[in-house]
A and B are shown apart, each in its own frame.
Chain A
Amino acid sequence: MTDASMDSVPVKGTLTTVDARTKKRNAAEKRFKAYGIVAILIGLFFLVVLAVSILRSGIPAFTQAEMQLEFVLTQEEFDAAESQVLKTKAYENIFITKLQDALTEKGLTVAFDAAAIERLLGKPGSTIREFYRANPDQIGQPVTFSLPASSRVDGYFKGRVSRDTVVDSRFFEASDLDLVDALADAGIIVRNFNWNFITGSDSGVDHPGGAGIGVSVIGSFFMMLVVLALSLPIGVAASIYLEEFAPQNWFTDLIEVNISNLAAVPSIVFGILGLAVFIQFMHLPQSAPLVGGLVLTLMTLPTIIISTRASLKAVPPSIREAALGVGASKMQTVFHHVLPLAAPGILTGTIIGLAQALGETAPLLLIGMVGFIARAYPEGVVSGFIDPNSAMPAQIYTWAARADAGFYEKAWGGIIILLIFLLTMNIIAIILRRRFERRW
């Protein structure tokens, strides 16, 4: 049989030709796929925009312009300075002399006065004096001082401040930039990785260079400990009871509806509740991570309960029957068979709940965990829970609300650190889930 003869006889219902209906169906399928891809691309686009803008605004926070100067302070200079009435001023004058010496050594001649140095560095005298009073053995030794430059100098290096935009004031003058350029050429002003941003504490409103997020990271850490220690056992116990033991009646239905509703309550409501109950009624310390943790526990509980119940529901009933069938009690059934199978889901839900709590700001502001509280590391574990502290998102909020543009950059940098923590938690969730799932 030839092809020609095949064509001449119209064959009905052959599999090699596509009929109109199938064509239409295939087209619809293709269209649907295309919609999906477009949706994902849009999502990815916004993700990239977000990531790029966060990184672009936040990365500068991790570097800081510093004035690095190595010099030797002799015993006589120390004694002379200590005998003055204005001691820090004396140290400042020593610093200026040493700076001039260093510049002359490099063959540079730039004229500057004490006021200019103060505009560039704040008051260096007190830092230097404190150092030598704390380390008297360093007198007579070469010491390198790294002093954070002021917000405007820092901004000049990061492109935030330029000669055109700078407005002369008692904080800064355009001519100061010549001095900055000269010092930068001499290698005295350098841009360094800002460890202080990661490990430091919050600084005063006019000193963004010294601000760090470290103390509020610790605040967040203690808060998360409280949330984990309370919400995981309470949430899992409540879910197990509701899912496996509680009778189905109007009362449990009511509880169920209320839990779902609680999950939708705005977090600020929990904040004001915490303020009223934990601080005003129970007289727990203000601004303490313990109270923050309690408030966030209230907020996290519904999330954990809902996800735990969902993962308990997903365990096939045949497993429960099997266990009951060999004479296991209800509790043995739950703890030996159902819970291990539900564990990956419970863990995922818990970590998602914790991640939510970690990023929560509003309730913390209400109980006084605002950024400027985070001034010093707690002395121990107990004080970590009860000493006033802030938390990462509250710290970021505080920075974002401050006037100095240097803080704006710190806020973005803080967001990067917060996101790193959140990503880490999500990765832990994924690893734990894999690990548990491998136990079939």
Chain B
Amino acid sequence: MYDIPHHTQETAVTDVKIKAKDVQVYYGDTHAIKDVSVEIENNTVTAFIGPSGCGKSTFLRCLNRMNDTIDICRVQGDILIDGEDIYDKRVDPVQLRAKVGMVFQKPNPFPKSIYDNIAYGPRIHGMARNKAELDEIVERALRRGAIWDEVKDRLQAPGTGLSGGQQQRLCIARAVATEPEVLLMDEPCSALDPIATAQVEELIDELRQNYAVVIVTHSMQQAARVSQKTAFFHLGNLVEYDDTSKIFTNPEDSRTESYITGRIG
């Protein structure tokens, strides 16, 4: 049905990075995530697909406890990263978020310079001992964000002065600058042109070598191109979770099939 690039088919020897079990999320009385259990593997790109409002972002935000900031949001069930329950009382969400980076649906650069946008995370985590090291981290992150060439001459210019697509790549660079182990991306390419999208997808594939990457996307092609595993959400339920090749060629559930062929959504 879709072209599956060659490299996605080689299923590497994988270990489970994130394990979610019976997760329920409520926004006040709204039951946004119903009974979701999923195992996200290391060195794998996992795609979350599904119609708008089905809870992809909500579930993604559970994985780095970003939902803690929403007063009315309640999360039940277990989410383990490397076997540790991230909702355990002893877990400091701040420490967790340094380990689980996030790129948001809307580009949200800090209203600071491009340099400071990237340097902020490494700075607060004490990752650089001096200015030279910090410069190096910033350059590496911007290169991985596929934006270095465009901004290398104006690192002191405001990050908010970039175009939407450049801002999103800046945010990706910012997220990888802190060297997370898991990278959560909420529709990272929705504001990007095809060339930048291709660059980001290449980046995602590269990040897979070291991290577990979870990406929410509305583009079936993108999910097929970059991911090895795909999870299909519908109305708060995880309908189907399997190898990407399986989901896109031979889905088990009729809802999945309808969605990826464009009949519901």
Contact = CB atoms under 8 A, between A and B. Distances in A.
- Does chain A bind chain B? yes
Interface of A: 247-248, 316, 318-330, 332, 336-337, 341, 439-440
B66 A326 contact: no
Nearest to A326: B121
B101 A326 contact: yes
Contacts of B102: 325
Contact of B69 (A316, A324, A327, A337): A324
A341 B104 CA distance: 20
A252 to B, nearest CB: 11
A322 B111 contact: no
Given A325-B66, A325-B97, A326-B101, 11 more contacts: A318-B108, A319-B110, A320-B69, A325-B102, A326-B97, A326-B124, A326-B174, A326-B178, A328-B121, A332-B124, A336-B120
Chain B contact patch, size range: 20 to 34
A324 B175 contact: no
Contact of A326 (B106, B111, B120, B158): B120
A347 B48 CA distance: 45
Contacts of B108: 316, 318-319, 321-322
Interface in B94-149: 94-95, 97-99, 101-104, 106, 108-111, 120-121, 124-125
Contacts of A329: 94
A334 to B, nearest CB: 12
Nearest to B93: A324
Given A324-B66, A324-B69, A327-B125, A318 B106 contact: yes
A327 B97 contact: yes
Contacts of A336: 120, 124
A327 B94 contact: yes
Contact of B66 (A319, A321, A337): A321
A263 B171 CA distance: 42
B109 A341 contact: no
B104 A322 contact: yes
8 contacts: A322-B108, A323-B110, A324-B66, A324-B94, A325-B66, A336-B120, A337-B110, A341-B111
Contacts of B98: 326-327
The DSSP consensus for interface residues of chain A is helix
Nearest to A340: B111
Given A325-B66, A327-B97, A327-B125, A440 B104 contact: no
A360 to B, nearest CB: 37
Contacts of B174: 322, 326
A322 B177 CA distance: 13
B71 interface: yes
Contacts of A326: 97-98, 101, 120-121, 124, 174-175, 177-178
Given A323-B110, A325-B104, A248 B124 contact: no
B160 interface: yes
Contact of B160 (A320, A330, A332, A440): A440
A324 B104 contact: no
Contact of B175 (A318, A325, A341): A325
A347 B109 CA distance: 25
Contact of B124 (A320, A325, A328, A341): A328
B121 A440 contact: no
B64 interface: yes
A324 B97 contact: yes
Nearest to A330: B94
Q: Among B110, B160, B177, B178, find the residue whose CB has the most chain A CB atoms closer than 10 A.
A: B110
Interface in B151-190: 158, 160, 171, 174-175, 177-178
